Chains A and B, each alone.
Chain A
Amino acid sequence: MTTHRIQVMVCTGTGCVSNHAFEIRDAFEREIKKNNLQTEAAVITTGCNGFCGAGPLVVVQPDGIFYQLLKVSDIPHLVAEHFLKGRPVKKLMYIPPEEKTPIPKMSEIPFFADQTLIALRNRGMIDPEKIEDYIGRGGYKAIAKVLTSMKPEEVVTEIKASGLRGRGGGGFPTGVKWESCKKAHGTAKYVICNADEGDPGAFMDRSIVEGDPHSVIEGMLIGAYAIENVTQGFIYVRMQYPLAIHRFEVAIKQAREYGLLGKNIFDKGFDFDIEIRRGAGAFVCGESTALMTSIEGKVGEPRAKYIHTVEKGLWDCPTCLNNVETWANVPQIILKGAKWFSSIGTGDVSVDPWGGSKGTKVFSLAGKVNNTGLVEVPMGITMRDIIYKVGGGIPEGKKFKAVQTGGPSGGFIPETLLDLPVDYEELAKVGSMMGSGGMLVTDEENCMVDMAKYFLSFTQDESCGKCIPCREGTKRMLDILDKITMGKGSEEDLVMLEELSSMVVESSLCALGGSAPNPVLTSMKYFREEYEAHVRDKKCPAHVCKPLIKYSIDENVCIQVGHGCDVCRKQCIDNAIIGEKNQAHRIDPSKCGKCGICYDVCKFDAIHIE
């Protein structure tokens, strides 16, 4: 039988796989067999659904019932109840934070309902390892359209008119880039897909590749045709993404078998093929010039960009580099038209390709927010809607503090700016950036100085070391931040920190150095009082920086309310608590290692942090 009445879509993105999604798939197959339902129910594996925190997850079609946090032991009951008796199992469904009734349908869960999918259009709908599934959802129709009815320059014009801008960070208008590469002299040109996502916690690109690799391949085909004289493309993926590499390999193989890559595609005299290059995962290799030298087989180091890579890139040939998400948008623009795409988003791109932010952006929402995961939202949506509607707000009713956008070198955005529409220019105006789409939410329990230090230590570590301002400047900045969090900072340090920041921004060779100080600059701008508390009062208001906090016991509360219960003393690993049962306790500050255990275990709120 070809038609199954039930299709079990098992998410097998990296997140769910690490939570045993393959075992869940096997369990479904086993139970379906056991219940003699093979002809009625089919199990299909899909790419990441973006809601990894709820994984392993499964969507049962045609009703779109969403099951989350599954265990192998749940499956027999699920199959018997839902598949045999038609009773979806409530206790395995999603329950919104602070509510009691589960939401059975995926399409009604706010996390999914408030998203607009273009780059992730096939998420959860196709088996990424089956090219037929992609074709069934309109795949490779755009390249067919382009080859039969559009001249290369018309394709460029269409992409320009759509207002699509680079999703990897810079926000450079894609059509303009294609045009320059097209105009550049050279008989051999290249297109590259940058899948070298290096921001900690970011996985937009990985997820697109894992879930829908053909969308990227088709985008590259269209780009190669439009730019002309391009017969070879490269996909640069980091080695740390084995599943993404595997899915690309399978996709390329299938596309070649169908003649969608190779010679004389669709008999239209157009040749193009793609090779995968594995990167070692250095952050700087995401930078375009460094990435190209790495593809050439040399050490990945950036070089000065006085010559643009669109003119002299890979092996000194004109090269057009776009990231995964950018490429994945291209086929949809060709199919649905520039008008449709530019109707989504902000500004006006009809005269100036820099005049607005169009389409959607994929963000990875992380940190102190209820629904962490991957979200695709229209440009121009407010930060507040992303955090509170799609993200479901801050857990445990805590207070929002700031959201950091754009990866480790993005800036912090405070509460007062939450109604900011998310687009390239608006984010830049407040000192942050779109970047590749990382979004980290912090709450009242995060110390801004500590956060700035964390991100700077990341970029500092990843600096390739070629230019001095970036290598030494960030190091000096880190030393100062260290001093401040140790309680040894002074007001002069704050001045110094600001000066160093602008020096590094202005004189670094590549964008890594040029943006690394952003977290420091924005946290100093919007949370100045926290820095001042550290240097002036030697206090950490969020109680994060250990050298600046002190634990003490209110002896009155301890004896009168807690009757000297002695719990804290037994738990203290440093033997820093003095006292006996039924007596008031106190902490010996010279011994206390500030682990915070006593604070957590005292049921009578007798212990304070300052």
Chain B
Amino acid sequence: MGKLKIEDLEKIAEEARKKMTIREGGGRAKITVHMGTCGIAAGARNIMNTFLKEIETHDVHDVIITSTGCAGLCNKEPMITIELTGQAPVKYIQLTEAKAKRIFDEHIMKGKFVQEYAYAIGSEKIL
């Protein structure tokens, strides 16, 4: 890359920020995949990869994926928790790739949670 113009500075910053949001622990949305032994056995890794792919195809950079251990609900795995900034966390259970895609589209991208797959909001169960 050659000599910068002032406009280029913002472009570089933009590119760099894509990689850096997660260092700042910020982000608009956080997806936590439960990856206990049972979760992994039930296909949690596959779910995680689906989300990672979705993030890439949608080219979004304010969505963070993290993992956590077993949630004690082994028969409901694979399971995730989605938190949008300022909203109560939503738990989804018994996920498949297709369900994960839909959750990404509707909940992460459009901000509407997918009632049919949801297990609980905050601490309150909805099933």
List A residues at the B interface (Cβ < 8 Å).
1-7, 9, 39-40, 44, 61-64, 83-87, 107, 125-126, 132-133, 135-141, 144, 147-148, 257-260, 266-267
Contacts and interface: CB of A to CB of B under 8 A. Distances in A.
Contacts of A83: 67
A132 B16 CA distance: 6
A140 B9 contact: yes
Contacts of B9: 135, 140-141, 144
Name which of A7, A266, A267 has the most chain B CB atoms within 10 A of its CB: A266
Contacts of B27: 62
Contacts of B30: 62
A135 B67 contact: no
Interface of B: 1-6, 9, 12-13, 15-20, 22-25, 27, 30, 32-37, 40, 48, 52, 55-56, 61, 64-69
A259 B3 CA distance: 4
Contacts of A5: 22, 48, 52, 64-67
Contacts of A266: 4-6
A327 B25 CA distance: 28
Given A62-B66, A135-B9, A136-B13, A7 B4 contact: no
Nearest to A133: B16
B25 A259 contact: no
21 contacts: A3-B19, A3-B55, A3-B56, A5-B22, A7-B19, A44-B23, A62-B30, A85-B69, A86-B33, A86-B34, A86-B66, A86-B69, A107-B25, A125-B23, A125-B24, A126-B20, A135-B16, A136-B13, A137-B20, A139-B13, A258-B1
B8 to A, nearest CB: 8
Given A3-B18, A5-B48, A144-B9, A259 B35 contact: no
B48 A7 contact: no
A144 B6 contact: yes
Nearest to B68: A86
Given A86-B69, A132-B12, A3 B52 contact: yes
B20 A125 contact: yes
A86 B67 contact: yes
Contacts of B68: 86-87
B111 to A, nearest CB: 20
A602 B62 CA distance: 63
A36 B33 CA distance: 18
A86 B33 CA distance: 8
Name which of B1, B6, B34, B40 has the most chain A CB atoms within 10 A of its CB: B6
Nearest to A107: B25
A257 B20 contact: no
Given A86-B32, A259-B4, 6 more contacts: A3-B18, A5-B52, A7-B23, A62-B66, A125-B20, A266-B6
B14 to A, nearest CB: 8
Name which of A132, A135, A147 has the most chain B CB atoms within 10 A of its CB: A135
B3 A258 contact: yes
Contacts of A9: 23
Nearest to A60: B66
Given A1-B56, A136-B12, A258 B18 contact: no
Contacts of A84: 35, 40, 67
Interface pairs A-B: 4 shortest CB-CB: A136-B16, A86-B67, A259-B3, A5-B65
Contact of B2 (A87, A132, A135, A259): A259
A61 B52 contact: no
Name which of A4, A86, A135 has the most chain B CB atoms within 10 A of its CB: A86
B6 to A, nearest CB: 5
Contacts of B1: 257-258
A223 B12 CA distance: 24
Nearest to A87: B69
B4 A62 contact: no
Given A3-B18, A5-B22, A135 B55 contact: no
A63 B69 CA distance: 14
A44 B19 CA distance: 11
A133 B20 contact: yes
A123 B23 CA distance: 12
A137 B34 CA distance: 32
Contacts of B52: 1, 3, 5, 39-40
Nearest to B22: A62
A66 to B, nearest CB: 12
A93 to B, nearest CB: 15
Nearest to A134: B16
A2 B20 CA distance: 11
A87 B16 CA distance: 29
Contact of A85 (B6, B22, B25, B40): B40
A82 to B, nearest CB: 8
A61 B25 contact: yes
